[in-house]
Chain A
Amino acid sequence: DVVMTQSPLSLPVTLGQPASISCRSSQSLVHSDGDTYLNWFQQRPGQSPRRLVYKVSKRASGVPDRFSGSGSGTDFTLEISRVEAEDVGIYYCMQGTHWPRTFGQGTKVEIK
Chain B
Amino acid sequence: EVQLLESGGGLVQPGGSLRLSCAASGFTFSNYTMTWVRQAPGKGLEWVSTVVRSGDSTYHADSVKGRFTISRDNSRQTLFLQMNSLRVEDTAMYYCVRGIFAPDYWGQGTLVTVSP
A residues with a Cβ closer than 8 A to B are 31, 35, 37, 39, 41, 48-51, 54-55, 60, 92, 94, 96-97, 99-106
Chain B's nearest CB lies how many Å from the CB of A24? 16
Which are the 6 A-B pairs with shortest beta-carbon distances? A54-B102, A101-B47, A96-B101, A103-B45, A48-B106, A37-B101
Do B103 and A100 touch (CB < 8 A)? no
Do B103 and A99 touch (CB < 8 A)? no
Report the separation of the CA atoms of residues A96 and B45 in the bound assembly, to the nearest whole angstrom: 14
A-B residue pair count with CB separations less than 8 angstroms: 53
Partner of B46, one of A48, A51, A103: A103
Secondary structure dominating the interface of A: loop
Do B106 and A103 touch (CB < 8 A)? no
Count residues of B near A (Cβ-Cβ below 8 Å): 21
Do B102 and A39 touch (CB < 8 A)? yes
Known pairs A48-B107, A54-B102, A101-B47. 18 more at Cβ < 8 A?
Answer: A37-B101, A39-B103, A48-B108, A48-B109, A51-B103, A51-B104, A60-B104, A92-B44, A94-B45, A99-B59, A100-B47, A100-B59, A100-B61, A100-B62, A101-B35, A101-B100, A103-B44, A106-B45
B residues with a Cβ closer than 8 A to A are 35, 37, 44-47, 50, 59, 61-62, 95, 100-109
For B50, the chain A residues whose CB sits under 8 A away are 101
Do B106 and A49 touch (CB < 8 A)? yes
A/B interface sample: 14 pairs, CB < 8 A: A39-B103, A48-B95, A49-B45, A51-B104, A51-B106, A54-B102, A54-B104, A55-B102, A94-B45, A97-B101, A100-B59, A101-B35, A102-B47, A104-B44
